[in-house]
């Protein structure tokens, strides 16, 4: 453990998954003085963090052995399952032998957007070995990750949530405990349902404006602060006008989220036709080769495949 200027103890962090989001978030913890160990599938994506003082681990379990708090920010539920639950290389296998730490048991925090049921399973398996688990997906995009202005939606034990307060404050600006295991992920699904309809609106509106001959820069200035304003419009609208289709948020990850939302809704008998439509249009973009492009590329959908 490291000592703060005021002699309080900083927990040792491990960070698994250093892509668009994880890299920026771990970078903020390093800048705030936390000692961080990192592991990611492609080491190159962690080079900047290693140069900034992070240590490299060869596996999630090795990363967990060196930490009091382990964060995961990978891609899909299958990745979460393997990095946390793999019996030999997973985080929980590395935390098995007991650690010192702020809670004296260790905390694993999955920040990936993943299945609520997997969060429940992880919390159960963690509890069996005396580790606390939180699901803590985020919203606010690459910009929020860089600036520490994410909205963080947390499920799991309230005590573990409170213990991590100083860390949440470095990563986000709107941090809320949503209930027991899986409730953070359910909140994130609400968020993705909102985004689905919003992205359809943003992209259709800009396609319409272009078609009828508006100056889109001026038109955007009018609508951005009216009743139709939104994060997607303010942040992705200008990217569309600059023809910047880099992710941000990758289409393949959004389709993953929409399918989780559809499955969860179906399991309650709820029909969510707006999400159905968004899932179909974004899936067509994946088939057309846009899987790794940003979600603003929906503006390129023309129904012609």
Under the binding rule (CB under 6 A), the answer on residue 22 touching ligand NAP is: yes
Q: Tokens representing 134? A: 């939180």
Q: Minimal distance in Å, beta carbon 237 to ligand NAP?
A: 16
- Bridge partners for 72 per DSSP: 16, 110
Name residue 16's beta-bridge partners. 39, 72
Which residue is closest to ligand NAP by CB? Answer: 19
Rounded least distance, CB 26 to ligand NAP, Å: 11
The residue from 248, 290, 293, 301 that contacts ligand NAP (CB under 6 A) is 248
Instruction: Report how far residue 138's alpha carbon sits from residue 201's, in angstroms, rounded to the nearest whole number.
Output: 22
Binding residues for ligand NAP, total number by CB under 6 A: 28
Does the annotation count 304 as an active-site position? no
Stretch that binds ligand NAP, among 26-34, 36-44, 92-100, 265-273 (CB under 6 A): 36-44
- Which residue in 138, 183, 236, 258 binds ligand NAP (CB under 6 A)? 138
Angle at 257 (CA atoms; ends 289, 112), nearest 5 degrees: 105
Q: How far apart are CA 39 and CA 59, in angstroms?
A: 6
Regarding 112 and contact with ligand NAP (CB under 6 A), the answer is: yes
Choose the binding region for ligand NAP from 174-182, 208-216, 245-253, 266-274 (rule: CB under 6 A): 245-253
**Residue closest to 191 by CA, chosen among 144, 147, 159:** 144
Establish if 152 lies at the interface with ligand NAP (CB under 6 A).
no
The residue with tokens 């088939």 is: 287
75 binds ligand NAP (CB under 6 A): yes
Helix (H, G, I), strand (E, B) or coil at 99: coil
Out of 19, 90, 148, 181, the residue judged to bind ligand NAP by CB under 6 A: 19
Which pairing describes strands 107-110 and 132-135: parallel, antiparallel, or unpaired? parallel
Of these residues, 89, 188, 210, 256, which one is catalytic? Answer: 188
> Is 20 one of the binding residues for ligand NAP (CB under 6 A)?
yes
CA atoms within 13 A on the CB side of 75: 13
Among 10, 13, 21, 196, binds ligand NAP (CB under 6 A): 21
Exposed, middle or buried: residue 267 (CB in 10 Å: 0-12, 13-18, 19+)?
Answer: exposed
Q: Phi first, then psi: what are they for 51, rounded to 5°?
A: -65, -30
Euclidean distance between CA atoms 244 and 297, whole angstroms? 9
Is residue 181 a contact residue for ligand NAP (CB under 6 A)? no
Place of tokens 């999955």: 110
Q: Closer to ligand NAP at the Cβ: 113 or 198?
A: 113
Residue 23 CB, nearest approach to ligand NAP (Å): 7
Q: How far apart (Å, rounded) are the C-alpha atoms in residues 102 and 80?
A: 24
Residue from 113, 132, 157, 187 binding ligand NAP (CB under 6 A): 113
Q: List active site positions.
A: 188
Task: Name the residues that contact ligand NAP, by CB under 6 A.
Answer: 16-22, 40-42, 45, 73-75, 79, 82-83, 112-113, 138-139, 141-142, 248-250, 253, 257
């Amino acid at each position: 453990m490291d000592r703060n200027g005021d002699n309080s103890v900083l927990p040792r962090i491990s960070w698994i998954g250093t892509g668009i989001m994880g890299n920026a978030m771990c970078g903020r913890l390093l800048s705030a003085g936390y000692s961080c160990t990192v592991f990611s599938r492609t080491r190159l994506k962690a080079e900047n963090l290693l140069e900034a003082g992070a240590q490299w681990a060869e596996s999630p379990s090795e990363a967990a052995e060196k930490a009091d708090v382990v964060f995961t920010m990978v891609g899909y539920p299958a990745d979460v399952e393997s990095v946390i639950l793999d019996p030999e290389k997973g985080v929980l296998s590395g935390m098995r032998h007991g650690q010192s730490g702020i809670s004296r048991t260790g905390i694993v925090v999955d920040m990936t957007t993943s299945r609520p049921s997997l969060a429940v399973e992880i919390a159960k398996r963690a509890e069996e070995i005396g580790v606390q688990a939180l699901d803590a997906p985020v919203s606010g995009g690459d910009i929020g990750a860089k600036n520490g202005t994410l909205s963080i939606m947390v499920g799991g034990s309230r005590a573990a949530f409170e213990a991590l307060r100083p860390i949440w404050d470095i990563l986000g600006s709107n941090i809320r405990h949503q209930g027991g295991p899986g409730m953070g992920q359910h909140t994130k699904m609400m968020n993705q349902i909102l985004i689905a309809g919003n992205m359809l609106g943003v992209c259709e509106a800009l396609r319409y404006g272009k078609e009828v001959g508006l100056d889109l820069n001026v038109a955007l200035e009018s609508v951005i602060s009216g009743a139709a304003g939104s994060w997607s419009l303010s942040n992705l609208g200008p990217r569309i006008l600059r023809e910047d289709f880099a992710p941000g948020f990758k289409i393949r990850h959004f389709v993953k989220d929409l399918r989780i939302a559809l499955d969860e809704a179906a399991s309650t008998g709820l029909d969510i036709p707006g999400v159905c439509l968004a899932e179909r249009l974004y899936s067509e973009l994946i088939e057309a080769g846009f899987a790794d492009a940003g979600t603003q590329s929906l503006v390129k959908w023309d129904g012609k495949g």
